[in-house]
Amino acid sequence: MFTGNPFAELTAFLPPQAMQAYIGLMIVAVAAGTLIDMLHKRSASYFLRQWRKSKASATRRLGAIETGFLAVRTLLHEVATSGEFRNPRRRVSHLLLFYGSLAYLVATVVLVFGYPTPATPAPAIWPVLWNTGALMVLIGGGWFFFFIRVDVAKEGKSPLRLMRADLFIVSLLLSVAFGLVWEIVQTAGNLLATQVAFGVYILFTTLLFLGVPWSKFAHMFYKPAAAFQRRVEEASGASSLPKPAATRYIER
């Protein structure tokens, strides 16, 4: 366990092409859901209007090299290190979620498409990465959901109180948790129990990706775009916002 490919064992009741087709459909669902979310919130038109407005009010023109440097800074600060979070606990939680999800998803795609059957054994690194990513998601996501959420940490509300905004984190945690449950049940050799556990895993995974238009999934694309636009406006002199004062975060 934890070093074997759980998806290869699906051939006992499911052809490899079925799981590969499922992943393809979920990729389409994410793309379509993100597009629907953008159209509903008019995010694309907002960014386009802001870009035109800032370009018209800019006091200096940025070159391609400077613009590329700002894009790299955005990737390193807002994406790679979650530098926008002042609360260190939330930052660590977010990084665990981000890198755990990334490892988990990449390993899933590699295992399903690259090593789909027991006849094509996967190098141990990929199952280990799949399990490690899943555990990182559970730790980071569980820490955030039960202890760091604003309505829980600051307002004293029950961590079991759910809102539509919680759809993404809840479905992600349940999907990953039941993925591990399915893997553990699979080792017992009971086909029916394995099928049930796998079915629950697929149920919550499908909810995760089909729920994109109603969750905060697309938010992860908006934040880097908004951060990059803000950097460009500041560098070109188009920003009308005052520069934030240097402050030190104090954990309460």
pLDDT digits over 97-114, tens only? 999 999 999 999 999 999
Average pLDDT of 25-31?
A: 94
Return the pLDDT at 154: 62
- Assess if residue 198 is contained within a domain: yes
* Residue 92 in this model has a pLDDT that exceeds 50: yes
For tokens 């389409």, the residue is 28
- Assess if residue 19 is contained within a domain: yes
Q: Which amino acid type is present at position 5?
A: N
Return the pLDDT at 195: 97
CA angle 240, 244, 245 (to 5 degrees): 140
Specify whether the backbone of 128 is left (phi greater than 0), alpha (psi in -120 to 50) or beta: alpha
Average pLDDT along the chain: 85
Q: Which amino acid type is present at position 9?
A: E
Domain carrying residue 227: 8-236
Q: Which amino acid type is present at position 55?
A: K
Return the pLDDT at 93: 94
Return the pLDDT at 197: 97
- Assess if residue 148 is contained within a domain: yes
- Assess if residue 2 is contained within a domain: no
Average pLDDT of 68-86?
A: 86
- Assess if residue 70 is contained within a domain: yes
- Assess if residue 243 is contained within a domain: no
Closest of 82, 81, 86, 90 to residue 249, by C-alpha? 86
Return the pLDDT at 243: 52
| CA 213/CA 209 separation, integer angstroms | 9
Highest mean pLDDT among 58-72, 153-167, 179-193, 229-243: 179-193
What's the pLDDT band for 247 if we cut at 50, 70, 90?
very low
> Among 37-41, 153-157, 204-208, where is mean pLDDT lowest?
153-157
| CA 106/CA 189 separation, integer angstroms | 27
- Assess if residue 71 is contained within a domain: yes
Return the pLDDT at 58: 79
Return the pLDDT at 27: 95
For residue 103, give both structure tokens.
């490892």
Report the number of distinct structural domains present in the chain.
1
pTM over 0.75: yes
Closest of 13, 19, 12 to residue 179, by C-alpha? 19
Residues 148 and 169: beta-carbon distance below 8 Å? no
- Assess if residue 241 is contained within a domain: no
CA angle 90, 150, 36 (to 5 degrees): 85
